[in-house]
Amino acid sequence: MAAFQTLDDLGDIAGKTALVRVDLNVPMAEAEVTDDTRLRAVAPTIRELSAKGAKILLLAHFGRPKGAKHSELSTSMVIDALTEILGREIMFVPEIAGAVVKQSIGILADGDVAVLENSRFYPGEEKNDPELAKAVAANGDIYVNDAFSAAHRAHVTTEALAHLLPAYAGRAMEAELKALEAALGEPEHPVAAVVGGAKVSTKLDVLTNLVRRVDHLIIGGGMANTFLAARGVKVGKSLCEHDLVETANGIFEAADAASCTIHLPYDVVVAEEFKANPPVRTVNVHEVSDNEMILDIGPAAVEALADVLKTCRTLVWNGPLGAFETPPFDAATVSLAQTAAALTREGSLTSVAGGGDTVAALAHAGAKDDFSFVSTAGGAFLEWMEGKALPGVEALKTQSRKQG
């Protein structure tokens, strides 16, 4: 499928300068990185380019400075953590273009690494300004994009640079695109999708895209309540978007037309209060009382869904099946995640998942490491599930066409 170039396509880059877009946007507390997952993810690309003798200039955004300098949002904040992961010294360059960057390149030896300042300190970055792009590109020989998580943005460092320099997908980007292609591009059928989470309204485009692409659409979480309401179920005090009942009916119809089976729970776990370990009942969906709310799908539904997954070759998962942060409403998510993990281990299922809360839920279930691929990309992952073209990915493709 690779319509884009990867690091396998690099020629001799010894002594050349590589502008490498990475995701350094890690959570911090008291000037310490609290989760270095994203830094670890880009290490293989940096090491590979370094081993090939390139001078590596890392480009990244950090937080939302909105085009102005804020010292607490400087990319220099992550240098210590990145130094530790790479096991080598890293230079900090307080600009992304111009003479300061050029001088820094003169100081770097082949294989050395520098972090450039937060790209979003420059108003041109988020405007995809061609002048800023030219100025940044002037200091590089090649461009590598290893930040899938920023690929839904058409910014200078994610999009424009790919048109100005020979452009390559880094290893993390390549892995992400391969996994997503295997899950929804040209997947092995039958394909199941699990969509959960709080609200239908945030995932309408996801649902609309999926019914056309998958064989089984499993709906859980708060959003299942809206679909149950559309089927005439009384959902009591549950989170439910009653104004979207017609929309839900439209999705049922689209699914029918596309021969996609929609799975809704037939039993649910309900409570009168949303708190940890309250008195709960497990009931048929038609037995929810007015003063109760649905906070998880029930064990019979989970068992049936596990049987569906056993017949499938591919699974894509976004959104927890219940309010998993609050016990015992994590039960369905944990159980189905463990089933998916086991099927993946056995080799019968390719499983891809993404979404902030989904990643946390799979980790909580001890299932994350067994999934074929877990995306930490957030917004970019969702836009991909919506079937949208991502500007950062499209730009890499255009570039490789141009070069034949």
Helices and strands in the chain, H and E counts: 15, 17
- Collapsing DSSP to helix, strand or coil, 169 comes out as strand
CB of 286 to ligand ADP, least distance (A): 17
Give the span between the Cα atoms of 361 and 330, in whole angstroms: 8
Which secondary-structure segment (H or E) carries 29?
strand 28-29
Q: How far is the CB of 203 from ligand ADP (least distance, A)?
A: 7
CB 317 within 8 A of CB 352: yes
- Positions that interact with Mg ion (CB under 5 A): 356-357
Please state the closest distance from residue 356 (CB atom) to Mg ion, in A.
Answer: 4
Position 271 contacts ligand ADP (CB under 6 A): no
One residue of 124, 319, 391, 392 binding ligand ADP per CB under 6 A: 319
Of 82 and 332, CB closest to ligand ADP: 332
Contact with ligand ADP (CB under 6 A): which of 8, 256, 325, 369? 325
Q: Which of 260, 294, 316, 385 binds ligand ADP (CB under 6 A)?
A: 294
CB of 23 to Mg ion, least distance (A): 18
Please report how close the Cβ of residue 379 comes to ligand ADP at its closest, in angstroms: 10
**Is the distance from CB of 111 to CB of 53 less than 8 angstroms?**
yes
CB atoms closer than 10 angstroms to residue 328:
17
The single residue of 63, 111, 250, 379 carrying the catalytic annotation is 379
Closest to ligand ADP by CB, 199 or 345: 199
Least distance to ligand ADP from the beta carbon of 97, Å? 35
265 binds ligand ADP (CB under 6 A): no
- How would DSSP label each residue in 95-146? -SSSHHHHHHHHHPPTT-EEEEPPGGGSHHHHTT-HHHHHHHHTT-SEEEE-
Clarify whether 379 is annotated catalytic. yes
Q: Could you tell me how many residues of this chain bind ligand ADP (CB under 6 A)?
A: 20
Q: Which of 177, 173, 208 is nearest to 193 (CA)?
A: 208
Using the contact rule CB under 6 A, the part of the chain among 46-54, 101-109, 131-139, 356-364 near ligand ADP is 356-364
- The nearer residue to ligand ADP, 95 or 357, going by C-beta atoms, is 357
Cα 185 to Cα 69, 108, 139, 179, 385: the distances in Å are: 40, 41, 36, 9, 10
Determine the distance from the C-alpha atom of residue 45 to the mean position of all C-alpha atoms in its chain, rounded to a whole number. 19
Whether the Cβ atoms of residue 312 and residue 260 lie closer than 8 Å to each other: no
**Residue entry with tokens 């050395």:** 112
Task: Decide: is 166 part of the binding site for ligand ADP (CB under 6 A).
Answer: no
Contact call for residue 298 and ligand ADP (CB under 6 A): no
Residue with tokens 């200091």: 139
10 Å Cβ neighbour count for 8?
10
* Cis upstream peptide for 320 (omega within 30°): no
Q: Which stretch binds ligand ADP (CB under 6 A): 4-12, 167-175, 303-311, 349-357?
A: 349-357
Q: Residue 391 interacts with ligand ADP (CB under 6 A)? A: no
- Choice between 238 and 400, CB closer to ligand ADP: 238
Catalytic residue among 16, 21, 38, 55: 38
Report what 140 binds from ligand ADP, Mg ion, none; CB cut-off 5-8 Å by kind. none
Residues found near ligand ADP in the complex (CB under 6 A) = 196-198, 202, 221-222, 239, 294-295, 318-320, 322-325, 355-358
Query: Among all residues, which ones are annotated catalytic?
Result: 38, 199, 356, 379
